[in-house]
Structure 1
Amino acid sequence: MIDQLRSLVARHCESLKRDMAGLEEDIGLIGSEPELSAAQIECAIAKAHKVKGSSGTIGFQAVSESAAALEQALKGLPPLSAALPDEERLGQISDAFARLADLVASLKPEQSRLYDMHFPADMPARPERNEEDFCQRQIGSASSCQI
């Protein structure tokens, strides 16, 4: 089971690099023109939110917190119908993205708090259940149950 978990963590590290490339592209377009900027802001917020959630789940707390900061900076941009964001706000977004990008660039699977998680030796990889008992509890008869 630990090998499967480590493989999941390693795949997450690779997918983060792809996510960051997309975020970088979106953030680079923000501030170029109002209509394009509005669409890119929404897309960037969604991508930052994805990085925040998936990284937190997989055990990369610092990445999750940094992505949350970027998400909040993006959410602080003017409404979609407003003018382009000011230079100060664009600087905050750029700084938040740079911090996140630095974390992701140096990220290694071993840094996840899940990487060396220990499981009880007798823990089955998948819980077993007695189908007949399950049917008895669900419908009161094991004879007509198809699982």
Structure 2
Amino acid sequence: MSNDPAFSKSFLTSAITVTLCCLWPTIINTTVGVNGVDKDLINVSRVLRLNATTKTFKIILPSAMPMIFTGLRLSLGIGWMVLIAAEMLAQNPGLGKFVWDEFQNGSSNSLARIMVAVLVIGLIGFLLDRGMLMLQRRTSWDKNAVLH
């Protein structure tokens, strides 16, 4: 075993924690989206005798896309919150560790630094959500289904 691993133990712990927290909203929303595909569209695919690949990419995926993106946006927000908390707990370098260190510092300027860090965390979360919404608008065939 090497003394200098490719990833530190705290990084792997944080990555696994974030992955496990982000996984479920995407899986659940994808399942609901696929289950909610209009039955008439499925019947049309049977009448046209579409193969599984064509049926998936031409009917199921476009119909389920709004729910899939809802799950992805939820996962992104949850992942960002969990990442900050994991950085605090695992002492990984990042905004979470910075907030924790400033909290433990207790100097007169710590509260101001913590508030700025919280605003930066919120701004980054907002920008991540807007980025995912822009991606959804570019990939969605129904532009009216994408909320602003």
Please report the TM-score for the alignment, with normalisation by the length of structure 1. 0.32
Please report the TM-score for the alignment, with normalisation by the length of structure 2. 0.32
Higher-Rg member (1/2): 1
